[in-house]
Structure 1
Amino acid sequence: MATGTEGGLAPLLGFALVGGLGVGAQWLAWRLRMPAIVLMLAAGLAVGPGLGLLDPGRDFGDLLQPMVAIAVAIILFEGGLSLNVHSLSDAAAGVRRLVVLGAPLGWLASAAALHWGAGLSWETSAVFGGIMIVTGPTVIAPLLRQARLRRRPAALLQWEAIVNDPVGALAAVLAFEVVLVLRTATGVGEAVVDLALGIAVASALGLAAGWALARGFARGRVPEYMKVPVLFASVLGVFALSDFVLHESGLLAVTLMGLWIANVELPSYVELRRFKEHATVLLVSGVFILLAADMDRATLAALDLQALLFVLVVVLVARPVAVLLSLAGSDVPWPERLLVAFTGPRGVVLVAVAGLFGARLAEIGVADGAAMAPLAFALVGATVVLHGFTLAPLARLLGLTAADRPGVLIVGGGPWSVALAEALAKLDLPVMIADPNHARLRAAREAGIDTFFGDVLSEGAEHRLDLVRYEQIVAATDNDAYNTLVTTDLAPEFGREKVFQLRRSQDASRRHALPATLGGRAIGADETLEDAQARLREGWEFRVTTLTEEFDLAAWRGKNPDAIPVATLDEAGELRFLGPEDAPQESDTRLMSLSPQREERRGA
């Protein structure tokens, strides 16, 4: 095996191992329906202090800290890029309170927990308490994806995490400057000037870079294929320049840069954001593996009952008190306040920044500064595992999930859509029909089906339609081009295996056939809307049948030779739409089919 210095892994093998473990943990979490962060943490601990296979400090040397810093900067930039102010809507007041009031209250509560719970000095507690303001956007995003919260509580947690991340880093800088003044001959005035100058420069750099990039992209000054590389280079440049002026201010700069770009309505914004999301998935997994693997056994062994007491005080007292006080008197409902109060996972930024300032405090003579790194890791590990397994159940208990089961959004309000929606409702699945023509929704409303009047691709739908409730989309309007546009545009968000459309009228012609990259998957008999609705006029209907070992697929087929399988719902509650080439499960499933009307009903 190729090795690096002192018997460690060669850097190239180290990078490959980190990438494979990170992506593999995320994939396994998706398959097992577990919190991805928990598996990434376990994988890092296993290959690091567990097996001793990877030691990032040894294998990557001086490159480790810059790598983590750059990864955190890109993660925060992508976080800012996802914060469109229109998405706040009714959560704006709550977010404002969580940032303006919650951050200083959290700082005070965390410092008190560190002093009385962990036994740290007030100097270390003040610095560490500032860092603990952050609630980890790297952790919140995967948890929200798994828990499927309603829009407002999800917005509260997401905005608080992303906005407070740079605020927490800057709070630590402020506290450290105060400790430095008390410990050295540096003047108070000089420290205040340095801090103010750093924040001003970071804000100016971030906003100016965001404005310049948005203007250049909108005016075509950058070719399409260069936009993502230019964006990456700009993020790195802004982060490095701002950090040079004041350490950790780069986080503020890149967050503001992303926030500006997210709110100027760039035509290429969706493509930029999707690419950044893909990069962030890689970076989050990589950073978590690195930080977990970088812990040594001695540090982990130093975590005693006092560390456990500290974690409990933070989770059960400090965080809830800060959140509930900051939201007191607001219009945020109590279930949402309780969910936010008891959901405060910490992530990458906390560990990275705590390790940095812990070393700096130790350098200037604060003896317990070295305790910051292991305590930070203990808090991250405990909150990641705790909230990873409790957020979804707590949200369900408080009635804040979008739906117990992920449902289906049907685009198009014709008779076939209404019949399909009624059949899905029999399976106890959330279903909604959307159509920009109000008259076409009349039949759906009369049938008691939830409806959305408007274009599902519009900005209004993005902010008013809670898409997290729906896992699959069926496009069935009488406009083939629009069906293709809907399924193509929403495929990256829902997954290409989760978007379906009825066959285009002109698909039989090679001249009009579309490439496989456009449109959705076939459903049922792969027929046009006109053909499907003709079946309904002839008396065909959707039926739901339970297949068992006694009455399996073969027995069902014998009784329904002409029926067309459309979907199955297995015992785990997973809906699977079927195309003409897909075979239903043999038994232990509920089968939805489109069948001719039974003879007894036909003659009635």
Structure 2
Amino acid sequence: MNGIDFALASVGSSELIFACALIGALGIGAQWLAWRLQAPAIVLMALAGLAVGPLWAVLFGEALLDPQRVFNGGGKELLRPIVSLAVAVILFEGGLVLKFESLREAGAAVRRMVFLGGPLAWFLGTLAARYTAGLDWGSAVVFAGVLVVTGPTVIMPLLRQSKLGGRAGAFLKWEGIVNDPVGALFAVAAFEIIRVAATGESILGKGAMIVFAVALGVGLGIAFGLGMVRAFRQGWTPEYLKAPIIFASIILCYAMAEMIEKEIGLVAVTAFGMTLANSRLAGLNELRKFKEDIAVLLVSGVFVILTANLTPDVIRRALTWNTLAFLIVMLFVVRPLSVWIATFGTLKRNEALLLGWIAPRGVVAVAVSSLFATLLYDLGRQGDSKFYFSGAEQITPLAFAMVFATVVLHGFTIGPLARRLGLARKERPGVLLVGVNPWSIDFARTLKDIGIEPILADNTWRRLRPAREAGLSTFFGEVLSEDAEVRLDHSAFDQVLGLSANEPYNALVSSHFAPELGRHKVFQLSAQETEEDDHRTLGLSTRGRTLIRRGRSYDSLIRDHYRGWEFSKTRLTDTYDIEHFKRDRPKADIVAELRPDGALNFLGPHREVKGGEGVTLISFGPPREAETPAVEAAETPDETTEKA
């Protein structure tokens, strides 16, 4: 290699490294910003890609990130394989949450929406894409199959944002989980049929081959899944290698299926994920967490790549009246008709109205659409093809338009519409108290008195009886079980407290809910009865945040409760502040404070009470007559403190 070639190679590798770093920074940065702003992450990721791609090209003459040039330049053809592998992992992760027992428990409405509404939406979407967007029949059929997808990565944030629970929330959640792989399967089937017709092969003979190839792909995915289950159960792999082995197996499964027949790999990896999901494999939650982390990275990267790969010319061609007509028909005709026909007789009128409107598309729709758009474009230019797929170039921008429209419109309207139809929770999210005992029941009563809805959870029916008799909301079962993922309404609470007598169990509960709610929203009681650190207790990284203070253990709380200690609610004023309270109640533990804006803060080490006018303190202490106030308060205690 001469000096010039070496210099060019160095520049090329440097550009590739910069592009990868930029993609990662933009994708994860957009995810973080979405978390901070409580905005749809998919919109921010798309805006990031557009900013460094077509927008940068318009402003400065050349895109800062041009995936086509970076990944396909110099004779390389890396862009499509990269996107294909990313989509394969994303679909595997979608299959990993698809449990047949969950589908059965989701109700008749979801089953009918999947098996009747899905094909109906595919048919109506094909007509819309053909007659409003102007796509050719082949492109329309494939694109409409992809648009059946409503991914859980988009649905779940909307459900939390809108406080939508109950049957309507369960419908949207499970429809998204099931439709994620189903839409991709529709697209795969449509593309294979079109490819046979385009190449002039015998439809009957090739159709049989496709069915056989799909069966082989499904069988290969199931075989990989069963092999992984057996290997893990027999202890043939160490724990630290399980997640990497799964990841490598996804790539291998996809590659082997692609050797059987093009695009069968997507079917195989989906079957692989579904096999693991239904295997009752111990430790699957840890593997699922790893796959979710990988999926977040891939979703972010793929979305930035696909939006940056759009050119100003393609965007201008997409911003037409045909695109607007297509969006209107999909939003106001195809979705409502599909839901109303498929679920007739199983949903109430207000539920059908809401579900007929809400159907946001996510990254799977864009990624799979872009993949098949490229495949159709290449197929139409093959020498033996009978067709020219003129609409293939329009599929990707149409997919982005659909994602933007649904995420923005549904994101801003789901809350008001749910409230208008009487389906949203009117109260603020409550608190899940895991572990029922006399202290936690009294604590739950106090929370309910100040307007916070508590949910007491325990796996012993006898311990729940006093809570039920007190009119408190309860959950009977193991909150760590897979069953709780379906039966426990996670939108009903946004903080979790581990209050059982078992400190390791409280830590396990905290670790279970921390990824969903955030580690700052999970708490548990102190492990020891002294304030000094004890090296025999669990580490901070494996437990929740300490409630109240160090040394305030379960045993000490129960002991004081039987000694007559009680909960009190104290509202601070401009004349009775936190200092007055501390002098008035020197022995009381302040457990939480309710801010005037409705925020409930649980207190503990490094989370001292802030106080302030209008704040309501929840304290646990001896009866007032058992304490001697240090000073006379500005107001009498009876005027500011109420016993629970």
TM-score using structure 2 length = 0.84
Query: What is the match of residue 313 of structure 1?
Result: 329
2:479 aligns with one of 448, 456, 473: 456
Query: What is the match of residue 320 of structure 2?
Result: 304
1:55 aligns with one of 60, 66, 82: 66
Please say if residues 146 and 187 of structure 2, whose CA atoms lie closer than 8 Å, have aligned partners that are also in contact. Answer: yes
Please say if residues 97 and 177 of structure 2, whose CA atoms lie closer than 8 Å, have aligned partners that are also in contact. Answer: no
1:322 aligns with one of 332, 335, 338: 338
Please say if residues 406 and 470 of structure 1, whose CA atoms lie closer than 8 Å, have aligned partners that are also in contact. Answer: yes
Query: What is the match of residue 85 of structure 1?
Result: 100
Please say if residues 106 and 174 of structure 2, whose CA atoms lie closer than 8 Å, have aligned partners that are also in contact. Answer: no
Query: What is the match of residue 371 of structure 2?
Result: 353
Query: What is the match of residue 45 of structure 2?
Result: 40
Distance 1:13 1:549 in 2: 57
Query: What is the match of residue 436 of structure 2?
Result: 413
Distance 1:467 1:3 in 2: 55
Please say if residues 126 and 144 of structure 2, whose CA atoms lie closer than 8 Å, have aligned partners that are also in contact. Answer: yes
- What amino acid does structure 2 have at the position aligned with 1:544? K
Q: Aligned pairs, how many?
A: 601
1:523 aligns with one of 542, 547, 557: 547
Please say if residues 476 and 502 of structure 1, whose CA atoms lie closer than 8 Å, have aligned partners that are also in contact. Answer: yes
Residue 139 and residue 251 in structure 1: after superposition, are their counterparts in 2 closer, same or farther (change >3 A)? farther
Distance 2:407 2:242 in 1: 35
- What amino acid does structure 1 have at the position aligned with 2:45? M
Matches within 5 A, 1:199-598: 199-302=214-317, 303-329=319-345, 331-351=346-366, 352-360=370-378, 362-363=380-381, 364-401=387-424, 404-505=427-528, 510=534, 512-526=536-550, 527-547=552-572, 552-554=577-579, 556-557=581-582, 559-587=584-612, 589-598=615-624
**Deviations, residues 439-458 of structure 1 (Å, cap 9, x unaligned):** 43343233321123343334
Q: Judge which range, 578-587 or 415-424, deviates more.
A: 578-587
Distance 2:343 2:364 in 1: 25
What's the secondary structure of 2:523's corresponding residue?
strand
- Give the unaligned 5+ runs of structure 1: none
Q: Judge which range, 205-214 or 521-530, deviates more.
A: 521-530
**Deviations, residues 50-76 of structure 1 (Å, cap 9, x unaligned):** 223222222232322222211111111
Please say if residues 98 and 160 of structure 1, whose CA atoms lie closer than 8 Å, have aligned partners that are also in contact. Answer: yes
Instruction: State the Cα distance separating 1:216 from its structure 2 match.
Output: 1.2
Instruction: State the Cα distance separating 1:77 from its structure 2 match.
Output: 0.8
Instruction: State the Cα distance separating 1:31 from its structure 2 match.
Output: 1.8
Distance 2:217 2:181 in 1: 11
Instruction: State the Cα distance separating 1:211 from its structure 2 match.
Output: 1.0
Residue 168 and residue 458 in structure 1: after superposition, are their counterparts in 2 closer, same or farther (change >3 A)? closer
Query: What is the match of residue 192 of structure 1?
Result: 207
Distance 2:518 2:176 in 1: 26
What's the secondary structure of 1:544's corresponding residue?
strand
Residue 317 and residue 6 in structure 1: after superposition, are their counterparts in 2 closer, same or farther (change >3 A)? farther
Instruction: State the Cα distance separating 1:206 from its structure 2 match.
Output: 1.0
Distance 2:608 2:347 in 1: 48
What's the secondary structure of 1:101's corresponding residue?
helix
Please say if residues 358 and 371 of structure 1, whose CA atoms lie closer than 8 Å, have aligned partners that are also in contact. Answer: no
Distance 1:205 1:374 in 2: 34
2:22 aligns with one of 17, 22, 36: 17
**Deviations, residues 488-514 of structure 1 (Å, cap 9, x unaligned):** 444444433222222234676846333
**Deviations, residues 167-191 of structure 1 (Å, cap 9, x unaligned):** 4344344444554555553222233
Residue 480 and residue 88 in structure 1: after superposition, are their counterparts in 2 closer, same or farther (change >3 A)? same
Instruction: State the Cα distance separating 1:97 from its structure 2 match.
Output: 1.8
Distance 1:456 1:139 in 2: 24
Larger radius of gyration: 2
Matches within 5 A, 1:29-178: 29-51=34-56, 52-61=63-72, 62-144=77-159, 146-147=161-162, 149-150=164-165, 152-178=167-193
- What amino acid does structure 2 have at the position aligned with 1:150? G
**Percent of matched pairs sharing the same residue:** 44
Query: What is the match of residue 60 of structure 2?
Result: none
Instruction: State the Cα distance separating 1:33 from its structure 2 match.
Output: 1.7
Distance 1:245 1:522 in 2: 55
Instruction: State the Cα distance separating 1:418 from its structure 2 match.
Output: 1.7
**Deviations, residues 363-392 of structure 1 (Å, cap 9, x unaligned):** 242333322222222112212222233334
Q: Judge which range, 26-35 or 92-101, deviates more.
A: 92-101
TM-score using structure 1 length = 0.90
Residue 534 and residue 183 in structure 1: after superposition, are their counterparts in 2 closer, same or farther (change >3 A)? closer
What's the secondary structure of 1:583's corresponding residue?
coil
What's the secondary structure of 1:517's corresponding residue?
helix
- Give the unaligned 5+ runs of structure 2: 1-6, 57-62, 382-386, 626-636
Distance 2:519 2:405 in 1: 35
Instruction: State the Cα distance separating 1:273 from its structure 2 match.
Output: 0.9
What's the secondary structure of 1:86's corresponding residue?
helix
What's the secondary structure of 2:242's corresponding residue?
helix
Please say if residues 28 and 300 of structure 2, whose CA atoms lie closer than 8 Å, have aligned partners that are also in contact. Answer: yes
Q: Judge which range, 256-265 or 454-463, deviates more.
A: 454-463
Distance 1:167 1:486 in 2: 33
Query: What is the match of residue 634 of structure 2?
Result: none
Q: Judge which range, 507-516 or 105-114, deviates more.
A: 507-516
Residue 31 and residue 589 in structure 1: after superposition, are their counterparts in 2 closer, same or farther (change >3 A)? farther
